[in-house]
Amino acid sequence: MAQTRFIRTDIYLYLFLIMQVMLWNQTRHFKPDFTIVPEVPSELSIKAFSFGDEQFYFRTLAFDLQNAGDTFGRFTALKLYDYSKLYKWFTLLDKLDSKSSFVPSIAAYYYSATQNTPDVKYIVQYLEEDAGLNEYNKYNKWWWLGQAVYLANHKLEDKDWALRLAYKLAATPRNDIPIWAKQMPAFILEQKGEEEQAMQIIADILKNAETIDPGELNFMAYFVSDRLKKYIDDHPELKKLKESKTYKDSHPGQ
């Protein structure tokens, strides 16, 4: 009798074990979502989930974005990422902390390395928007605007966009940015073949030359004189005028 009861209780164990194996057979197809770039939440929801500490939540989401696609032992090629979604993430994170350079850094230095070059337009667009987002960014984010010029010019080869960005970069409202940032429109114009305008920009910078170091001054003086020489060579009437006695008398030593 006791043995029969034992067998009966034993049966339940085997029964539930078999049921568990059957259940496993059904559930093994349910796998975690391996989306490369996670879905972008709404601005309202990230404000709610930050529980008042937006900086903490910003860092958490920014870290997730840095590692997106490279989790669960995966390594995903950047060409497979959805850059329109990434762009939405970048702009969303700016709503939590627009001062940080973390997002512009991963955008400009990491995500811009995609093998699918047209996707770089999302990066450039974000960097342009981020640098002009508010007065703080207009003053402090010039470096990322410089990166945007580089990406637009060399990766996308969109000279018009690069020029627009270069003008914005040169208009940064501070005097302590490197001189190359002020000269940037001239370099892009030069590449577009608009040498006269390029020369004019450098000449304008030279007019305010008190704080520029001698090495830069030499470069800019050379830049202007070289383009001027080329310009005169291209215009015979100017060349003739330069070689005239009247000009030589009025410009001795040239």
The residue among 151, 215, 148 whose CA lies nearest residue 178 is 215
Which tokens hold the place of 212?
């520029």
Cβ proximity to another protein: between 110 and 222 the closer is 110
- Alpha-carbon gap, residue 124 to 112, rounded angstroms: 9
Say how many C-beta atoms besides its own lie within 10 A of residue 69's C-beta: 20
Cβ proximity to another protein: between 65 and 201 the closer is 65
* Least spacing, CB of residue 35 vs another protein, in Å: 21
Cβ proximity to another protein: between 102 and 219 the closer is 102
Cβ proximity to another protein: between 62 and 152 the closer is 62
Cβ proximity to another protein: between 143 and 223 the closer is 143
* Least spacing, CB of residue 25 vs another protein, in Å: 37
Return the ∠ at Cα 139 (arms to 157 and 132), rounded to 5°. Answer: 50
* Least spacing, CB of residue 238 vs another protein, in Å: 52
* Least spacing, CB of residue 68 vs another protein, in Å: 13
Please report, as ranges, the residues that interact with another protein according to CB under 8 A: 44, 47-48, 51-56, 58-60, 62-63, 66, 97, 99-102, 105-106, 109-110
Cβ proximity to another protein: between 6 and 136 the closer is 136
Return the ∠ at Cα 228 (arms to 226 and 230), rounded to 5°. Answer: 70
* Least spacing, CB of residue 5 vs another protein, in Å: 39
| Per-residue exposure over 15-38, b if at least 16 CB sit within 10 Å of its own CB, e if not | eeeeeeeeeeeeeeeeeeeeebbe
What is Dmax (Cα atoms) for the chain?
A: 134
| Per-residue DSSP letter, 177 | S
* Least spacing, CB of residue 229 vs another protein, in Å: 45
